[in-house]
Amino acid sequence: MDRRGFLRMIGATAAMTGAGSLLAACNANERAGGGQQAVVAAGGTLYVLSDTTSLHLDPAKSQGLAITSLGLLFRRLTVWKTSPDGPATVVPDLATDIGRAGADGRTWTYTLKDGLAYADGTPIVAADIKYGIERSFAPAFSGGLGYHKALLAGAESYRGPFEGGDLASIETPDDKTIVFHLNRSYGDWPWLASMPAFAPVPRGKGTDATYDTQPVASGPYQVTKYAKGVEVRLGRNPHWDPKTDVARTGLAEEIVFQLGQDASVISQRLIADSGNDAYAFGSAFVAPAQLAQLQGNPAVKPRVVTSKSGALAYLALNTRRGPLANPRVRQAFQYAVDKQAYQIATAGSVDLAGPVATTLITEGIAGREVFDLYPAPPTGDVAKAKELLAAGGYPNGLDNLDFPVSTSNNMADKAQAIQAALARAGIRATLRPLDEDAWEAVVTGNDGSYDLTLGSWQPDFPSANANIQPLFGSSEIGNGGYNLSRYSVPEVDALISQAQGTLDQAAAGKLWAQADRRILQDSPVVPLIYTRNSFLHGSKVGDFTIGEFPAYPNYLQIGLAK
């Protein structure tokens, strides 16, 4: 599995600043003050205000979600349907269904719909999807989501179509059929088929870096202008057929990404709601300080849309370090932490941060079970923590725990809140501030010389697989992996493998829920909160919704008032 960047944002928000948060009286189901969003119609220009200086459009290099910016340009074999009232579902996009598995779950077959074409009118064929996936293996185009790279048979040393020729485990017996041969059974393959690398690329295109700014479009829009650091303009793809597309409305005539905007200025512009900004939304989170102000502004508050929950914030305990190798000692941390203090350090108030977390699988994921193995007040239970430390052989607490922390994204304040809470129970930790790159090198490297650290995780696709495997699979320890607790338990690895290989999604969900409980029994991490995200839009923007998963607006559905 791919390494995930620390607090990495998704899609067009990839390098954006801001804090996950919410308006207490406005959530995804109460958007726009109870339905006051604009009534949308076809036409108009939609503006996306971004504080990034570039927008990477090569699907082989993208880590974007299926519902954000690249989904406007590219279709894939499958796509997501999101809803504020239920989990995201995978549905057919270019394909006629979400995939047909062989009896052993190692073979997945797709048939393309009729009448599919690129923006220039060229038909989309199965070989284009094969070529697009093969491009994602080329070192020159690395950086995109790579779940498929570990699953396609014989791909271990494959280096893409320019050096390695054809990848035999992807077959295209005719123009409308594509067959994938995996090295093991994998029930979540339909989700992977929605990832950027599964977008079609005409064979022979995308041989150099210019494809990142001028790709061949298969979605409702194509690039008409790319001015780095200034703007990216998308115009209509005249050959996109809405009758074949269940996920995209393609309502706006044009979409303009305005790049390099200051995050605070974006909010100020959207609050003012004048001129073109009435037809705009911000792709960065609204900062907590601004949210507090907006709560008292009845003209603006209806235009803030907030997720129910998002990334899991957690405290990782290095299970290979000294006293932390003892599960009883690690369980003491579940009671020693003050989750309420963490909420306040995150967003200034409990309401603005997101709810207290007790599970590893996040909200909006099918099969998630709600439980709490370590019930305690939000401020913790210091007496219980001391009791468990004594039972683990440390009646006088713990000294000199090394606590590396990134200096970005307000993590120092959050770490200080955790440090102070632990000290109440006699757990004394020393903060080690590091810039983000240095922090990541320490906690994802092979050395493992640290005791505690803070992490945050947003799954890449709506399956508990993406919650559990990257953070707790033994294969994700070191080498850039995100198993920050260095947790390795054969029983859990076997559960992960069993769940991944289970084709029945309901049955797989039960296995993932079982893994969630089993892991937390060992207490390799302390779940802290499910971080919420809030976004602001102009008064002429409608159908601006955030589903149960992910905690981002669905770009593919947004429209404008006449």
Instruction: State the residue for tokens 């159908």.
Output: 543
Whole-number pLDDT of residue 36: 57
Whole-number pLDDT of residue 352: 80
Q: Residue 95: which region, alpha, beta or left (left: phi > 0; alpha: psi -120 to 50)?
A: beta
Q: Within a domain: residue 381?
A: yes
Pseudo-torsion of CA 186, 110, 236, 307, nearest 10°? -30
SS3 82: strand
* Residues of the domain holding 107: 60-216
SS3 41: strand
Q: Are residues 355 and 211 in the same domain?
A: no
- What residues contact 281, with CB distance under 8 A and at least 6 apart? 46, 47, 48, 49, 270, 535, 536, 537, 538, 541, 544, 553, 558
Helix extents (H) in 28-174: 31-35, 70-73, 126-135
Instruction: State the residue for tokens 């393609």.
Output: 250
Q: Are residues 210 and 317 in the same domain?
A: no
Whole-number pLDDT of residue 3: 34
Q: How many domains does the chain have?
A: 2
Q: How far apart are CA 287 and CA 263, in angstroms?
A: 9
Q: Within a domain: residue 16?
A: no
Q: Within a domain: residue 330?
A: yes
Calculate Rg over the CA atoms of the chain: 23
Bridge-based pairing of strands 100-101 and 254-258 is unpaired
- Domain end, chosen from 201, 216, 231, is at 216
Q: Within a domain: residue 458?
A: yes
Q: Within a domain: residue 444?
A: yes
Whole-number pLDDT of residue 8: 37
Helix extents (H) in 370-410: 382-391
Q: Tell the burial category of 6 from Cβ atoms under 10 Å away from its Cβ (0-12, 13-18, 19+).
A: buried
The CATH number assigned to the domain holding 523 equals 3.10.105.10
Spatial CA neighbour of 468 closest among 421, 437, 407, 511: 511
Q: Are residues 369 and 495 in the same domain?
A: yes
- The 10 Å Cβ neighbour count of residue 275 is 11
- Please report, as a single letter, which amino acid is at residue 373: L
Q: Could you give phi then psi for residue 78, rounded to 5 degrees?
A: -130, 170
Whole-number pLDDT of residue 15: 31
Q: Are residues 206 and 333 in the same domain?
A: no
Whole-number pLDDT of residue 86: 84
Q: Tell the burial category of 479 from Cβ atoms under 10 Å away from its Cβ (0-12, 13-18, 19+).
A: exposed
Both tokens of residue 18? Answer: 């801001």
Q: Within a domain: residue 296?
A: no
Q: Within a domain: residue 185?
A: yes
The CATH number assigned to the domain holding 138 equals 3.40.190.10
- What residues contact 524, with CB distance under 8 A and at least 6 apart? 316, 317, 319, 330, 472, 485, 487
- Domain end, chosen from 194, 216, 238, is at 216
Segment-wise mean pLDDT, segments of 10 residues, the chain, 562 residues? 35 32 33 58 97 91 92 98 89 98 96 97 98 95 89 96 94 98 97 97 93 97 96 97 96 97 90 97 83 83 89 97 98 98 89 92 91 98 98 97 91 96 98 94 96 95 94 94 97 97 95 98 98 93 93 95 86
What pTM does this model have?
0.88
Q: How far apart are CA 167 and CA 127, in angstroms?
A: 12
Instruction: State the residue for tokens 């269904």.
Output: 97
Q: Within a domain: residue 290?
A: no
Q: Are residues 351 and 496 in the same domain?
A: yes
- What residues contact 271, with CB distance under 8 A and at least 6 apart? 294, 297, 300, 536
What does each C-alpha distance from 499 to 98, 250, 312 come to in angstroms? 19, 36, 21
